[in-house]
Amino acid sequence: MVFTWLNVGILVFLVAGLLFGAGPLLGSLLFAPRMSGGDARMPYECGMTPHGSSWKQFGVNYYVYALLFLAFDVDVLYLFPVAAWYRDSQGWLPFVKIFLFLFILAVGVVYFWRKGVFSWPRRIMQ
């Protein structure tokens, strides 16, 4: 195992963040008034009483975007080390290799575009 200040730094920063979050809340615990009764705790719904829980079903569109993002994200992360090395490379061969990699990605983007993935449907069907 290796000890790095980064690791401690992140932990300390997290603790600082938590303290920073907790401090004002402690203050509000001391100073803020506390009411009870009435409809103070009713979720906001433009003045009406909300109908059931708000945890409902959502369209598949968001899921598709998240999936595309996941795949592209992995791609980007493989691209990054190559980008860091690119300056030390010689000649056109690395460029051709990166071109191939990005070309396949671009084919994906064009395909999804033509398929209509990026056009938000007027009415999301379930």
Partner 1 sequence: MSLWLAGLALLLVKIGLVLFVVLTGAAYLVLAERKLLARFQLRLGPNRAGPLGIWQPLADALKLLMKEDTVPAGADRPLFLAAPAMSAATAMLIFAVVPFGDSLTIAGRPVPLVVADVSVGLLFVLALSSIGVYGVVLGGWASNSSFSLLGAIRGGAQMISYELPLALSLAPVVMLAGSFSLVDIVSAQAGCPFIVKQPAAFLIFCVSALAESKRLPFDLPEAENELMAGYHTEYSGMRFGLYFVGEYVNMIALGCLVAVFFLGGWRGPLLPPFVWLMLKAALVPLVLIWVRATLPRLRFDQLMHSSWKVLTPLALANILVTGGLMAALG
Partner 2 sequence: MQTSALVLFVIHALIIGVGGIMAVASRSLVRALVGLIMTLFGVSGMYLLLNAPFIALMQLLIYVGAVVILIFFAIMLTKAPAGGEEERPNQVRTYLLALMAGVLPTFVIGWVVLTDQPASINAPLETGLKALGQGLMEPYFLAFELISVVLLVAMSAAVILAFKRRQSR
Cβ atoms 120, 61 nearer than 8 A: yes
User: Does 44 participate in binding partner 2 (rule CB under 8 A)?
Assistant: no
Distance CA 111, CA 49 (A): 46
Which residue in 115, 116, 124, 120 sits closest to 59, CA to CA?
Answer: 124
Minimum Å gap between C-beta 10 and partner 1 is 7
Site string for partner 1, 29-68 (x = CB under 8 A): x-xxxxx----xxxxxxx---x--xxxx-x---x--xx-x
User: Does 56 participate in binding partner 2 (rule CB under 8 A)?
Assistant: yes
Cβ atoms 83, 102 nearer than 8 A: no
Please give the sequence-ordered ranges of beta strands (E in DSSP) within 6-111, or none if there are none: none
The one of partner 2, partner 1, none whose footprint includes residue 50, by CB under 5 to 8 A per kind, is partner 1
Among 8, 74, 107, 124, binds partner 1 (CB under 8 A): 8
User: Does 97 participate in binding partner 2 (rule CB under 8 A)?
Assistant: yes
